[in-house]
Amino acid sequence: MANIYQPPEQHPGDGSQVFFYYQHFSPDTLTPIHNHQWGQLQLSRGGLMELVAEEQRFMSLSHCGIWIPPGVKHESYMRRCVQYSCMNVPLALAARLPDHTCLLELSPITEAILADLNLRGVELAQTPADERLLSVLLDQLSQAREVQPFLPVTDHPLLQTIAAELEAMPEGGRRFAAWADALGTTERTLARLCQSQLGMSFIEWRQRYRFIHGLQLLRQAISVKEVALTLGYHQTSPFISLFRKYAGCTPQAYRQQLAQGNAAALPRP
C-alpha cells in the first residue's frame, strides 16, 4: 500500500509571501489529487517524481522544476526515495509565470539560490537579504525556458514494472527478450505495448532514462568517461552519440555551457 502525503493547506505567513517546504519521501509515496490557492514549483532530487495535471503526465528532471499554476488540480507519485522541495508562489506573483503546467529549466543562478535556501531550511524570507534572493529567483523563473516532457509515463501495469527497474538501474536492467519472459508475454506483444502506450520502442525508452541519468552525473565533478562507464557503456563514444542525439551537443560542450550559465534547454524530444 502506498504511503499517503497530504501537503500543507495553510500559508505559514500573511498570504503574500513566497514560502517553501521540504520533505524526504520514502519509496511508494502518493500525494492525492488536490489544488492550492498559490502556484508551485516542485523540485526533486535522488529519484523521479511523476505528476499528473491538466490531463498531462510529467516526470521530474534534475535540471527542471514542475510549475503548477494556482488552482490547478494535480497528484504525484514517487517510486523511490526523493528529496523534495516546493516553492509556493502567491497568486499576484504567480501571474509572472506560465498559466499552464509545464517543466521549467533551472538556470545555474536559480539552482544556486534554491540550494542555498534548502541548505538553510528557509521557509519564509526573514531578512532583507533573503527577500532580495527571492526577487532574483522570481526574475530568473519568469524568464525560464519551457522543456517539453521527455520521459513518457503510463498506467499500464506491465510497463510500470519496467519503468521501476529503468529508474532504479538506468545503466543496466534486463534485455527486451528477458522482460517479455519475466512478464509472461511475447516480444511482439510487449513491443506493441511500448508503441501504443509510450509512442516509442523499448530501446528508445531505455536510452532516454540513461540520458536523464547522464545529465545528473554530468553536473557532478566526474569525467565524461566515468559517466559513460557508470551508464553501462564500455566506451565513451556511444554515450557521446546518445547525448548528442538528445542535446544537440557533446557532454563536454554541455558542461562548458553550464559553467558559462547558458546551457540550452534540455532534453529535447
Note the CATH architecture for domain 3-147: Sandwich (2.60)
Sign of CA dihedral 229, 233, 237, 238: negative
How many other CB atoms are there within 10 angstroms of residue 9's CB atom?
8
SS (H, E, C) 197-257: HHCCCHHHHHHHHHHHHHHHHHCCCCCHHHHHHHCCCCCHHHHHHHHHHHHCCCHHHHHHH
Q: What is the pLDDT of residue 221?
A: 78
CATH 2.60.120.810 domain locations along the chain: 3-147
Sheet holding 19-25, edge to edge: 19-25, 82-89, 39-45, 64-68, 102-105, 146-147
The whole-angstrom separation of Cα 213 and Cα 85 is 20
| DSSP string for 63-121 | TEEEEE-TT--EEEEESS-EEEEEEEE-HHHHTTS-SS-EEEEPPHHHHHHHHHHHHHT
Consecutive H or E run containing 41: strand 39-45
Q: What is the pLDDT of residue 47?
A: 64
Max Cα–Cα distance, the chain, nearest Å: 63
End-to-end CA distance of the chain: 34
Residues of the chain with pLDDT under 70: 1, 46-48, 61-62, 79-80, 258, 260-269
Beta pairing partners, 74: 34, 53
- The residues of the chain that CATH labels 1.10.10.60 are 157-260
CA–CA distance, 236 with 230 (Å, rounded to integer): 11
Out of 1.10.10.60, 1.10.3720.10, 3.30.200.100, 3.30.70.20, the CATH code matching 157-260 is: 1.10.10.60
Q: Select from 48, 22, 68, 38 the least CA-distant residue to 167.
A: 48
Spatial CA neighbour of 213 closest among 229, 202, 201: 229
Q: What is the pLDDT of residues 2-48, one digit of tens each?
A: 789 888 888 888 889 999 999 988 878 899 999 999 999 999 876 66
d(CA 251, CA 269): 17
Compute how many other C-beta atoms are within 10 angstroms of the C-beta atom of residue 261.
10
